[in-house]
């Protein structure tokens, strides 16, 4: 029964069973165990329990959805429910007080960059946490529907940013994070509990059918411009000629040092503005990122985000089973 209830709200019971508390097998064998398990799932997956005791989707405030063409918003409902619940748990345990981020991206870039070589994922993640804005990497959502690439939501009295696209090359989610920061810093997010801006795909041009498309496009454009300014100072690049990944990586490092731009982001920026026979050469970008990471020693996305979370949360503020749940999800 529980499996069918979870399936009806877009969640995978077989995957969730692997991350349930140790007491689950004993609870299943007990007559009242089903209710206990449902209560745990409801509180940790952002669900409600209906009058008949079954799990159902919890009503959440309206969110600003940015979806690609052909995506039904209902497909993302399961993912939104889980990330909202995770955001609330992490927010409740976060130590630094929240303070607003600068609306001026040039000012934010100067503050974050300081004397560093460039702004990479670790630097930007730390800047958020230091301002009381948790950044959570959650790439393995146990859902049957689609996921978003990024979301900024308001939970337990503070904004939380969640990165859900799976990519251990840290320069891939770097732009997504900067984009979500843009939404927050520019006041796009209504600061009410569970309000959210959900980007299925950052940089997509299509709009959904929820609200005026012009306003939706404007918000995305503003967040993109903010992100570009923070990461590059507003500069965009393109490849005049294609070259081997190791050579391109070394050139990106050299240019990155001079212009204070993350070499991996520089490579992705250039590839995104380069067309070869009508296609962007993303295979070259991936190979270049691998070389950049090897040459610079950049850690993987998950390691960066988990390390920051551990340094900025007080797990004593949460129940042990909630801490174990976050760890099982790969959050902490």
pLDDT in tens, 165-206: 999 999 999 999 999 999 999 999 999 999 999 998 886 433
Q: What is the mean pLDDT of the chain?
A: 91
3-30 tens-digit pLDDT: 899 999 999 999 998 888 888 778 777 7
Given a cut of 80, whether residue 60 has pLDDT beyond it is: yes
Residue of 44, 56, 43, 51 whose CA lies nearest to 2: 56
Q: Kindly state whether residues 67 and 162 are assigned to the same domain.
A: yes
pLDDT at 207: 34
Question: Are 44 and 85 within one domain?
Answer: no
Which residue, of 24, 42, 57, is where some domain finishes? 57
The tens digit of pLDDT for each residue in 197-254 reads: 999 888 643 333 334 343 447 899 999 999 999 999 999 898 988 899 999 999 999 9
pLDDT confidence of residue 71: 64
285 pLDDT more than 60: yes
Q: Looking at the structure, do residues 88 and 123 belong to the same domain, yes or no? A: yes
* 128/204 same-domain check: yes
Residues 131, 192 share a domain: yes
* pLDDT tier for residue 90 given thresholds of 50, 70 and 90: very high
User: Does residue 259 share a domain with residue 219?
Assistant: no
Provide the pLDDT for residue 26: 80
* Same-domain pairing of 82 and 170: yes
pLDDT above 90: percentage of residues in the chain:
74
Kindly list the distances between the CA atom of residue 87 and the CA atoms of 116, 146, 177, 250, 252, in Å, as whole numbers in the listed order. Answer: 30, 19, 15, 38, 35
Does residue 128 sit in the same domain as residue 35? no
**Contact between residue 113 and residue 156 where contact means Cβ atoms under 8 Å apart:** no
CB atoms within 10 A of CB 143: 25
Domains in the chain, number: 3
Residue 69 has pLDDT above 60, yes or no: no
Q: So what's the pLDDT on residue 265? A: 96
Clarify whether residues 87 and 109 are in a common domain: yes
**Side-chain-side CA neighbours of residue 62 (13 Å):** 4
- How far is Cα 6 from Cα 45, in angstroms, rounded to an integer? 10
Classified as helix, coil or strand, 55 is strand
Instruction: Please give the average per-residue pLDDT across 51-65, as a whole number.
Output: 89
Specify whether 212 is located in the same domain as 93: yes
User: What is the span of the domain harbouring residue 185?
Assistant: 63-231+300-328
DSSP category for residue 161: E
Is the same domain home to 104 and 219? yes
pLDDT at 204: 47
| C-alpha–C-alpha distance, residues 308 and 58, integer Å | 30
Mean pLDDT of 316-328: 95
Query: Are residues 304 and 293 part of one domain?
Result: no
């Amino acid at each position: 029964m529980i499996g069918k209830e979870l399936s009806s709200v877009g969640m995978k019971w077989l995957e969730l069973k692997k991350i349930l508390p140790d007491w689950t097998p004993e609870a299943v064998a007990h007559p009242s165990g089903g209710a206990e398990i449902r209560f745990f799932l409801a509180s940790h997956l952002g669900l409600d329990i209906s009058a008949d005791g079954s799990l159902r989707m919890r009503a959440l405030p309206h969110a600003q959805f940015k979806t690609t063409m052909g995506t039904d918003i209902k497909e993302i409902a399961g993912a939104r429910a889980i990330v909202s619940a995770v955001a609330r748990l992490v927010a409740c345990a976060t130590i630094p007080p929240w303070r607003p981020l600068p609306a001026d991206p040039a000012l934010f870039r100067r503050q974050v960059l300081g004397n560093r070589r460039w702004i990479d994922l670790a630097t930007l993640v730390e800047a958020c946490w230091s301002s009381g804005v948790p950044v959570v990497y959650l790439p393995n959502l146990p859902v049957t529907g689609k996921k978003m690439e990024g979301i900024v939501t308001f939970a337990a009295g503070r904004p939380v940013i969640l990165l859900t696209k799976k990519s251990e090359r840290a320069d891939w989610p770097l732009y997504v994070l900067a984009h979500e920061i843009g939404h927050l810093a520019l006041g796009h997010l209504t600061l009410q509990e569970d309000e959210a801006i959900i980007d299925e795909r950052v940089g997509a041009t299509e709009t959904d059918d929820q609200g005026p498309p012009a306003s939706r496009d404007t918000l995305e454009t503003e967040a993109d411009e903010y992100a570009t300014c923070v990461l590059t100072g507003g500069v965009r690049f393109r490849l005049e000629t294609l070259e081997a990944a190791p050579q391109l990586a070394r050139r990106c490092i050299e240019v990155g040092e001079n212009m204070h731009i993350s070499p991996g982001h520089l490579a992705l920026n250039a590839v995104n503005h380069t067309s070869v026979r009508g296609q962007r050469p993303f295979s070259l970008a991936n190979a270049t990122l691998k070389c950049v990471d090897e040459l610079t020693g950049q850690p993987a996305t998950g390691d960066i985000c988990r390390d920051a979370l551990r340094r900025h949360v007080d797990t004593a503020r949460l129940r042990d089973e909630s801490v174990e749940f976050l760890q099982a999800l790969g959050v902490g």
